[in-house]
Structure 1
Amino acid sequence: MTTELLQIEPADLRFLFELKKQSSCLVQLRNATHHYIAFKVKTTSPKKYCVRPNIGIIKPNQKSDFTVTMQAQRTAPPDMQCKDKFLIQSTVVPFGTTEDDITSDMFAKDNGKYIEEKKLRVILISPPSSPVLLPVNADMKHDPSNEINVQKDRVPSGVENIPPPRRVSEEVKGLETAQDTKEGRADEDIVPRQVENVGDMKPAKGDVELNLTNESEESKSKLSIMDSKLREAEVTIRTLNEERRRNTQEKDLLKKELEVLKRKMNTKGVRSGFPFLFVCMVALISVAVGYYIHP
């Protein structure tokens, strides 16, 4: 056939890889033909993945989804490179074919039947890592630019611009202990002023934006997992409804067979022996004959 049977989205299976956690990926199949299409999903690592459903029937111009769940892994592959692959086979089946009619022979190439095969790669995505914020005071302590700022805070008269001692004792608390000299105390007093200015620097805003981006990505991944679970629940409900419909049909069929058996039993009872009306007529004739013979 010149036209492709199924259109597959996405082209690759992308899993958010976290140790000891499951990850799911939703795949959508679209039948763009005017035929009934049967599909089957295979993988190189069947024990590592769970596919639901792994077979199905797609009606003309309809869509069908299946979910691939990667089981929790204890170790990560080298360089996050995964060699697992998935194979989606599809073929044209007669009109009205159901999932119960699907067999392995439908996807065999021995009989010359056209089987379309498409391969999907597995790509592992690292989870977003939260940025590590270094202590601001430690950065300022080792920043050479502090020496320049200290010089700027000095007034021309040679007297240092020292904040009140009460403020120094509160803000410098927790820093490394300095030597008990006038020069050391002056440095301690000046350092908090530099710390206050650090909050206005632009990198802090970038960290906030990065945190928001990471949170949005985590929310998207959680939503995709919830959506896949919802679709699995819909497939389960659909299967249960189908089983209930079959049970109802079987029950109705058993009722009809029971009625047929009852009718047959009644027919046999009527055929065996003489009819009741005939027995009554013979009795009346016998009574009349006996009356005339013995007046």
Structure 2
Amino acid sequence: MTATPLISVNPDELRFNFELEKQTFCDLKVLNNTQNYVAFKVKTTSPKKYFVRPNTGVVQPWDSCIIRVTLQAQREFPPDMQCKDKFLLQSTIVNPNTDVDDLPPDTFSKDSGNSIEELKLRVAYITPTSPDGSSEEDGLKNSAQKLGTSSALGQLKEERDVAARQTRMLQQELDMLKRQRNRRGGGDPGFSFTFAVFVGLLGLLLGFLLKLLFSSPSSE
């Protein structure tokens, strides 16, 4: 049978909700599985990235403590959100009523003659999700897409408004020419030409409206 380890840790993996330019932390619960006083020490392959408090301590028999590991603010996402950092939790039995300040410097050294257990912990970065289940990275992409779509829609609407103003001006001129034609009681070459231009601009306006309709993103 495998002997019960001196201490157990929950969770068995450090998980950090990774956000750019923000600190985040993970709490580890360390449980003493014995009737002895057990000292522990936390080491990491990337000591400059993390704060560990406490990084050394003594747990009384059958008692537990919380270790808070804080990831410092990062300026960029790791490749594929994968983290290769690792933590090592060392533990050894010490004399009863030993305080952390009483631990000799070589307590966790193999040369000390102490029986030292080691527990390796991996690190995982998790992208926070919004209430709709999308990740922060997806949200940034969607925001960029929405900005691009809004810009295109704004341009189409501006073109539509220009065409509408030109059509109104032409309509006013056409009405004036109609009145002049009725007063003269005859045909007017200028009227025919203006009417043709009006029909062309009306078609242009219709084209803008159709383009705006088929370019609009779905609301789903």
**3-state SS of the aligned residue for 1:104?**
coil
Matched, 1:27 2:28: yes
Q: Which residue is 2:97 aligned to?
A: 96
Distance 2:38 2:159 in 1: 72
Verify the 8 A CA contact 1:137 1:195 in the aligned structure 2: no
- In the superposition, relative to structure 1, how do residues 76 and 188 fare at CA in structure 2: closer, same or farther (>3 Å)? closer
TM-score w.r.t. structure 2 length? 0.61
2:114 corresponding residue in structure 1: 113
Residues 269-280 of structure 1 aligned to structure 2 (within 5 Å)? none
- Identity within the alignment, %: 45
Please say which structure displays the higher CA radius of gyration.
1
In structure 2, C-alpha distance between the alignment counterparts of 1:76 and 1:173, rounded to whole Å: 38
Q: Conserved in 2, the CA contact under 8 Å of 1:14 and 1:125?
A: yes
The verdict on how the C-alpha distance between 1:137 and 1:43 changes in structure 2, with shifts beyond 3 A counting, is closer
Indicate whether 1:183 and 2:203 are aligned.
Answer: yes
In the TM superposition, residue 102 of structure 1 has moved relative to its aligned partner by 1.8
Change over 3 Å in CA distance of 1:16–1:105 after alignment to 2: same
Could you say which structure has the higher helix fraction?
1
1:174 partnered with 2:175: no
Structure 1 or 2: more strand by fraction: 2
Deviation at 1:99, TM superposition (A): 1.7
Q: Distance in 1 between matches of 2:125 and 2:110?
A: 33
Aligned equivalents of 1:75, 1:53: Cα separation in 2: 27
Q: Separation in 2 of the partners of 1:188 and 1:9?
A: 62
- Does the Cα contact within 8 Å between 2:157 and 2:212 map onto a contact in 1? no
User: For residues 158 and 111 of structure 2, what CA distance do their matches in structure 1 show?
Assistant: 79
**Per-residue CA distance 1:173-214 (angstroms, 9 max, x = gap):** 435555953333445566788899x55xxxx3xxxxxxxxxx
Aligned CA distance change for structure 1 residues 194 and 136 (closer, same or farther; 3 Å): farther
Give the aligned CA root-mean-square deviation in angstroms.
3.4
Matches within 5 A, 1:199-238: 199=219, 204=220
Query: 1:111 and 1:194, CA in 2 relative to 1: closer, same or farther beyond 3 A?
Result: closer
Measured against aligned partners, the alpha-carbon deviations of 1:4-41 in whole angstroms (never above 9, x if no partner) come to 11111222222233443322221111122222211111
1:110 is paired with a residue whose SS is helix
2:38 paired residue number: 37
What is the aligned length? 168
Whether the aligned pair in 1 keeps the contact of 2:29 and 2:65 (CA below 8 Å) is yes
User: Cα–Cα, structure 1 residues 73 and 173, in superposed 2: closer, same or farther, change >3 Å?
Assistant: closer
Once residues 195 and 111 of structure 1 are traced to their aligned partners in structure 2, the CA distance between those partners, rounded to angstroms, is 74
Report deviation, 1:53: 0.7
Contact 2:30–2:64 (CA<8 Å) still a contact in 1?
A: yes
What is the letter of the counterpart of residue 181 of structure 1?
L
- 1:68 is aligned to 69
TM-score, normalised via structure 1 length? 0.47
**Residues 85-143 of structure 1: per-residue CA shift (max 9 Å, x gap):** 1110011122222222222332232354321101112223345232335338968xxxx
- Cα distance change of structure 1 residues 137 and 98 upon mapping to structure 2, 3 Å threshold: closer
CA contact 2:106–2:112 (8 Å) conserved in 1: no
Q: Which runs of 5+ in 2 are unaligned?
A: 129-135, 167-199
> 2:57: which partner in 1?
56
Alpha-carbon spacing, 1:191–1:82, altered in 2? closer, same or farther (3 Å): closer
